[in-house]
Amino acid sequence: MSISDRSNPPLPAPGEETASAAALQRDRDLLARWRDGDVEAGTTLLDHYSGFVRKVALRAGVRAGADFEEFWQDLVLRLLQQLPDLTGRLRTSFAGYLGWQVRDQLRSWRRRERRSGIVTEHVVVVHHDEPGDRMAFWEALRACAAGLPPREQAVFEHRFLGGLDLTEVAARVDSNANAVAQAVFRLVRRLRDCLLTKGFDGPGDLL
């Protein structure tokens, strides 16, 4: 069984793989230094992704301010506990692993909220608080996502921005986990190809 369209997969654009590989190596290096006791390296690594975690958590219903800060601290503690084995569990990117942890933590958070009688509707909310040049990226991404088939659009929103895991996404799009996973790989390629045409071809430097 093959995954998505394997016939003549497009070659990466010049420099594309280099930029991505460099970002992954940067994250691995920071992670290794953090594991060896370099607190600054760990802080830098997590600081780079705090904005995205915030974006996903707020979209999932975590309240901004003290609630999100508590969510963030719980996430950091979770990563600290996993730190000794973390490097070995990085398969694609630290961002991807972090995304999985966020989705898992959001699932526990939602369960806790339900037990407390708090019902949070999953609302897709767009937060326009990114600095100027990043706003251009999100606009480009929105335009690219609008060009996806409806189901892939929904999968993209729910999984990458909504903090839902495969099973939850499958329930929302009335499908199964395997089909959703296939859609994930397919839409990733389409979105990256689209973003490349709009001039977004790198993972971005650490601030």
Partner 1 sequence: MNCPAPEHLLAYAEGAALPDVATHVATCANCRKQLAELGAFETLLASQAVAPAAERERLRSATWRLLQGGPARSTAPVRRFPVWPALGVAALAAAVLAALTLWPAAHGLTNLGVHSYPVEGGLRAEAGLRFAMTLRVADPRWVAIWELGAGTGKRLLPDASAPLPTYGVTFPLPAGDHRIPAAELLDFDVAPNTAPQQLLVIATPEPLRADQLAAIDALVGKGDQAAFWPQLSQQFPEARLLAFPSR
DSSP assignment string, 109-140: HHHHHHHTT------------S-HHHHHHHHH
Gyration radius (Cα) of the chain, Å:
18
Structure tokens at 87: 């490097």
Nearest distance, CB of residue 103 and partner 1, angstroms: 9
55 binds partner 1 (CB under 8 A): yes
Q: Are 187 and 148 in contact (CB under 8 A)?
A: yes
Write down the H helix ranges in the chain. 16-35, 39-60, 66-89, 94-115, 132-146, 150-156, 166-172, 177-197
24 binds partner 1 (CB under 8 A): yes
DSSP reduced 3-state for 75: helix
Kindly tell me which residue out of 25, 43, 120, 197 binds partner 1, with binding defined by CB under 8 A: 43
In the complex with partner 1, the residue whose CB is nearer, 76 or 171, is 76
Kindly tell me which residue out of 15, 100, 142, 143 binds partner 1, with binding defined by CB under 8 A: 100
14 binds partner 1 (CB under 8 A): no
175 binds partner 1 (CB under 8 A): no
In the complex with partner 1, the residue whose CB is nearer, 148 or 180, is 180
17 binds partner 1 (CB under 8 A): yes
Nearest distance, CB of residue 187 and partner 1, angstroms: 9
119 binds partner 1 (CB under 8 A): no
